[in-house]
Structure 1
Amino acid sequence: MGIFNRIKQILVTDVRDLFKQEGRLVDDDFLRDLFAILVKTDMGAGPARKIRDRIGTDFRARKVHMPDILKVIREQISEIMDQPEEPIKFVENGPTVIMVVGVNGSGKTTSIAKLTNLFVKSGKSVVLGAADTFRAAAVEQLSIWSERLGVEIVKGEHGADPASVAFRAVAKAIETNADICIVDTAGRLQTQVNLMRELEKIRRVMTRQIPEAPHEVLLVLDATAGQNGLSQAQGFSEAAGCTGIVLTKLDGSAKGGVAIPIREQFKLPVKYVGLGEKAEDMVLFNVHDYVEALLSEDK
């Protein structure tokens, strides 16, 4: 069942509370209550409104039971989230360069460790670039992970130009014929214009060595971010050209619905899901499992 077994207890909505054993009439009160419950999953007003209106059109003035409503909700969310399982798209020649971005505290460094673990287990060689030069703890954490996972790491002095570290990391990946180069970047708010421009500079220096680099730009998004996740997706996509999302912290109290409006508005696929702190706690995102977990009927 993939991620479903791990997160079905986490992403449960209160849809079942709308129903009595004999079913419920679909009227304005029902639709209002349903809308409020859907919004609580962090999916936002747009998708919630679309689902509510579809149910209102299909079932108004009819008595329905929970499975009828859940079926429609699943169909609507699956339609919005429709995407293939998209792991990293590896290039045929030379290293595949992955740039990782996100706000402070989103779980970037841990996510990089988990991705590295996945790649190493699949037989890929990896070079890490510790371009978060402003936070010594991030460099130290990434260094510990690199030793643990047996991969090379390129670091810079504290406060050094992050773009220079990224440049050297890509150079090291080319020199050692590595399969993958993952470049960490400092956490920043999407509203910090100067820091967002720095991401553009990091991208530019990579293209000097590999014109198509970075091949992937992954936005690490905390599942508890709620609607602020939309602002993050927009800001980082504009500055860094994001190609996908790593959704983290689904092992906590996250409702997880934030991925829905991001997919709807920005067409960004969720590529991986982080479920814990261990290196193994990352799995490929699966739409079917996600929708089932979001709307689990388990008590």
Structure 2
Amino acid sequence: MTDQAWILIAVAVVVVVVAVVGVVALTSGRRASRGPSTTLPPVEVSPYEVDQAPGAGASAQEAPAPETDAPAVATPTLERPAPAAGRMQRLRARLARSGALGQTLLSILSRGELTESDWEEIEETLLLADVGVGPTTELMDKLRTETKVLGTTDPEHVRDVLRRELLQLVDPTMDRELHLEPVVGDDGEPHPVTMLVVGVNGTGKTTTVGKLARVLVAEGHDVVLGAADTFRAAAADQLSTWGSRVGVPVVRSDREGADPAAVAFDAVKEGRRTGADVVLVDTAGRLQNKAGLMDELGKIKRVMAREAPVREVLLVLDATTGQNGMRQAQVFAEAVDVTGIVLTKLDGTAKGGIVVAVQRELGVPVKFVGLGEGPDDLAPFVAEEFVDALLS
């Protein structure tokens, strides 16, 4: 091979080498310009950057995280109880429909001139309505005397006399107000008004406490409920339901069978801590012939009084029990010094005369009456409206 051939081969090799070196250099440059390897995790770009104006100068990493609102918590809607004033008038028709006492009396009086058998029937009607032997005898004597003096047995006149005398027996002068005046303790600090609710099983006591809480809330009071019926878990649950509907807190024990006096004490203590106006304590129903249970009521009242004086002790009576409720009332009054009576189920009974009998026997006023199953069917007792409803 000639020298010229070798020279051409050498030149060709040099050209190839130079080309390879150039390609390698170009590839390295491109990689350097691309920056990090694509195996690195990509940068997260916030979706809130979409609306950002171009050229704002902030990178995706530097953009502040948008503030997000906390999830909205649904606020329970509280019920607004009906005003206590005027409830008796609103429920008057319901009482009148169930008032067999008034219906029977008016039926007798509509016969015209009254005979001796008519008078006896009036007396029997009053006794069956649980007015009581003593009040019935007084009422009959006055009716007979008045008709003799005036020389008439006109039914309308007798009805007017009957209304007047019944009203006197019911006694509109009795103090039926709840005593909710502010209390200042020996330490000079304000105390809540404390109220204890007692009664036998089945009278509707826990329901009455819930309804009474609604009455107090309607009048603008801050209330705390105490579930001192620790023998029935359902009682505390029921009371909690009543309280939650109107925004009233309930103090209860997590342990069934806990000391009811301790729960009552804690309720009053909570009332003082929160500045509540009224602390209303429910108790377990008990039979009046169980001495131990009756003594326990006295203990509950004494323990409550350590934190604040007990201003009201309300006895819940079932109006349908009639005279059977009288013995109950007597025993409870001896145990805890009852200050007022709540008559429940008065809308479904012909025994409205129990109002007269229980007040006469105990000297304690009926302060509230239950006239239905609705949440606002507990009404402050008004003597005139009650008698008018019976005779309407």
TM-score normalised to structure 1 length: 0.92
Conserved? CA contact 1:132–1:186, under 8 Å: yes
Aligned-partner residue type, residue 160 of structure 2 = K
Q: 2:259 aligns with which of 161, 178, 181?
A: 161
Q: Secondary structure at the match of 1:277?
A: coil
Cα deviation 1:172-217 (Å, max 9, x = unaligned): 101111011000010012121111100000011011112xx21000
Q: Secondary structure at the match of 1:220?
A: strand
Q: Does 1:195 align with 2:293?
A: yes
Residues 109-124 of structure 1: matches in 2 within 5 Å? Answer: 109-124=206-221
CA–CA distance in structure 2, aligned partners of residues 11 and 60 of structure 1: 28
Q: 1:148 aligns with which of 238, 245, 248?
A: 245
CA–CA distance in structure 2, aligned partners of residues 20 and 117 of structure 1: 42
Conserved? CA contact 1:8–1:294, under 8 Å: yes
Q: 2:361 aligns with which of 265, 287, 293?
A: 265
Q: 1:184 aligns with which of 277, 282, 289?
A: 282
Aligned-partner residue type, residue 45 of structure 1 = V
Q: Secondary structure at the match of 1:138?
A: helix
Q: Does 1:46 align with 2:134?
A: yes
TM-score normalised to structure 2 length: 0.71
How far 1:97 moved relative to its partner?
A: 0.3
| Unaligned residue ranges in structure 1 (runs of 5+) | none
Please name the residue that 2:195 is paired with.
Answer: 98
How far 1:43 moved relative to its partner?
A: 1.0
Moved more, 73-82 or 192-201: 73-82
Please name the residue that 2:108 is paired with.
Answer: 18
CA–CA distance in structure 1, aligned partners of residues 324 and 196 of structure 2: 22
> CA separation of 1:282/1:85 partners in 2, compared to 1, >3 Å: closer, same or farther?
farther
CA–CA distance in structure 1, aligned partners of residues 356 and 90 of structure 2: 19
Q: Secondary structure at the match of 2:352?
A: coil
How far 1:266 moved relative to its partner?
A: 1.2
Moved more, 143-152 or 70-79: 70-79
Residues 60-79 of structure 1: matches in 2 within 5 Å? Answer: 60=148, 63-79=152-168
Number of matched pairs:
292
CA–CA distance in structure 1, aligned partners of residues 111 and 334 of structure 2: 49
CA–CA distance in structure 1, aligned partners of residues 349 and 305 of structure 2: 40
CA–CA distance in structure 2, aligned partners of residues 22 and 172 of structure 1: 63
Aligned-partner residue type, residue 98 of structure 1 = M
How far 1:63 moved relative to its partner?
A: 4.9
Q: Does 1:86 align with 2:176?
A: yes
Higher relative contact order (CA 8 A, sep 6+): 1
Please name the residue that 1:252 is paired with.
Answer: 348
Conserved? CA contact 2:228–2:264, under 8 Å: yes
Cα deviation 1:77-108 (Å, max 9, x = unaligned): 21122235623111323211010001111111
Identity %: 43
Residues 192-231 of structure 1: matches in 2 within 5 Å? Answer: 192-210=290-308, 213-231=309-327
Moved more, 79-88 or 117-126: 79-88
Q: Does 1:233 align with 2:321?
A: no
| Unaligned residue ranges in structure 2 (runs of 5+) | 1-88, 184-190
Please name the residue that 2:230 is paired with.
Answer: 133
Q: Does 1:279 align with 2:375?
A: yes
Please name the residue that 1:37 is paired with.
Answer: 125
How far 1:2 moved relative to its partner?
A: 4.7
Conserved? CA contact 2:182–2:277, under 8 Å: no
Please name the residue that 2:269 is paired with.
Answer: 171
* Structure 1 segments (4+ residues) deviating >4 Å: 60-63
Larger Rg: 2
Aligned-partner residue type, residue 125 of structure 1 = D
> CA separation of 1:6/1:22 partners in 2, compared to 1, >3 Å: closer, same or farther?
closer
How far 1:145 moved relative to its partner?
A: 1.2
